[in-house]
Structure 1
Amino acid sequence: MENTSFKIKKVQKRSAEVQAADVLREAIVSGEIPLGTRLTEIHSSEQLGVSRSTIRTAFHQLVQEGLIVQIPYTGWSVMTLGPEDAWELYTLRASLEALAAKIVAKKVGEDTASGHVTSAITDAFGLLKSACQQGSKGEIATADMNLHSTIIKLSGHSRLIDQYSRIQSQILICIRSSDALVASPAHIVEQHLPLINALNNGNAEEAAKEAILHNETEGAILVSHLQQRDK
């Protein structure tokens, strides 16, 4: 039989440093490693079965993502989420997502590859609805994050995508914290409907407005919760 081409993914070569950063990142955003936890290179290297230099490189990567803080002469610590942190993240996120929503809705309105765009939005929203119907809290937060990151990617704005990626892990932590405050998962779906409708209708100004409103509304609730917690 002759050799034929198959549609399969290529093997990805990933360094130990990248794998260590991935494991630590997932543990932090999932809550397995609680926010504010002190980290040491020795303990982490023993747990992950890698060298201290590998862990150090992974820590530095997560510092760039804002998930770990390097404390001079002291060591490393997982980020905390206080009222000021939440405010900074949701206001920054609102600006970035509003721009992305405006660009994406404009693409739909101008019929520029709108079939691909609306299909991607529908699929991502469908995953969120499924997660809210039968998923765990972690799965809901992941699907919620996926919907927003899909809109960012669909914008095709390379610098916007790059800036968003720098805070995406912190945003996921905020989403997990915010979604946990919602009484029913069905409400999470309802929160996103105005934005989804504006995008699919190709209404750029409305989409931008809804992106801001969604972030400001849920962000303010989270900030208020954190303020009460810290009293």
Structure 2
Amino acid sequence: MTVKRTSLPRIVKIPAEVRAADALRSQIVEGQFPPGSRITEVQLAEEMGLSRATIRTALHELANEGLLTLVPYTGWTVIELSVEDVWELYTLRAAVERMAAQLAAKSQVEEQRAQLRAALEKLVQACEDGNSLRIAEADFGFHKAIVDAACHRRLSAQYGLIEQQIRVYIRSSDALIANPSEIIAQHRPMCDAILAGNADEAGRLAEEHNLTEGEKLGQSLAAKG
């Protein structure tokens, strides 16, 4: 007797350096490694049970993403967002996400529209729960959903070059907002404009949001420094 069954899933082997980079990236973005803190290959190799060569490969990947810097004769250091860094990121984001929002409003691909709705709902739920890490990740996820909804491969590729820095940036920016409901109020109009197909309004709101919140973060860093 032949028994019908579903096919078994393929087992994907993930290289150790990729798993190490994923784990370290999460720690940096979530603030477990404070900005400016030093990271040593020897310590990480011991803690993670991996070779220094594997750890070094992972650290170079994170450096390429802008999360680490390699200081000669000192070692690896977690990035600290300076006022200039914030200015560069929020002006760049304002331009890129304005275009993304406009294209998303014009594209109207149903699959992407559904993902955008889901991203907003996830952000709303995170804000209602009040968990700061979840809010920051959902905030980034919403903006990433707008970029994906633009259906523009080269735009997505360029955004990918800075998206890990953006995650750090968003966590710092959201920390300045006392009431999470304000975050929902900032993002819902962008979603509504995109879903309504209003490209001009969607682009304006995306640009205005990035410029306004970026200036606030920059001023906060300047006051501390």
Match of 2:180 in 1: 185
Kindly indicate whether residue 161 of structure 2 is the aligned counterpart of residue 160 of structure 1: no
Closer/same/farther in 2, CA of residues 83 and 9 from structure 1, 3 Å limit:
farther
CA distance in 2, matches of 1:86, 1:2: 60
Letter in 2 for 1:226: L
1:213 to 193, 208, 211: 208
Deviations 1:155-212 (A, max 9, x none): 2211111111111111111111111111200000001122112101101121111111
CA distance in 1, matches of 2:35, 2:104: 34
Where 1:33 maps in the other structure, the secondary structure is: coil
Letter in 2 for 1:203: N
Match of 1:31 in 2: 31
Match of 1:144 in 2: 139
CA distance in 2, matches of 1:177, 1:222: 7
CA shift, 1:224, in A, is 0.5
Mapping 1:167-182, distance limit 5 Å: 167-182=162-177
Where 2:77 maps in the other structure, the secondary structure is: strand
CA RMSD across the alignment? 1.4
Where 2:13 maps in the other structure, the secondary structure is: coil
Match of 1:119 in 2: 114
Match of 2:218 in 1: 223
Unaligned regions of 5+ residues in structure 2, if any? none
Match of 2:73 in 1: 73
TM-score (norm 2): 0.95
CA distance in 1, matches of 2:85, 2:72: 21
Where 1:13 maps in the other structure, the secondary structure is: coil
Q: Percent identity?
A: 44
Letter in 1 for 2:6: S
Deviations 1:116-136 (A, max 9, x none): 232221111001001100141
CA distance in 2, matches of 1:11, 1:169: 27
Deviations 1:3-40 (A, max 9, x none): 3336x864321100001101110000000011111111
CA distance in 1, matches of 2:11, 2:101: 34
Where 1:76 maps in the other structure, the secondary structure is: strand
CA distance in 2, matches of 1:190, 1:150: 17
CA contact (8 A) 2:112 2:148 kept: no
Unaligned regions of 5+ residues in structure 1, if any? none
CA distance in 2, matches of 1:57, 1:98: 35
CA distance in 1, matches of 2:67, 2:5: 45
CA shift, 1:143, in A, is 0.6
CA contact (8 A) 2:21 2:59 kept: yes
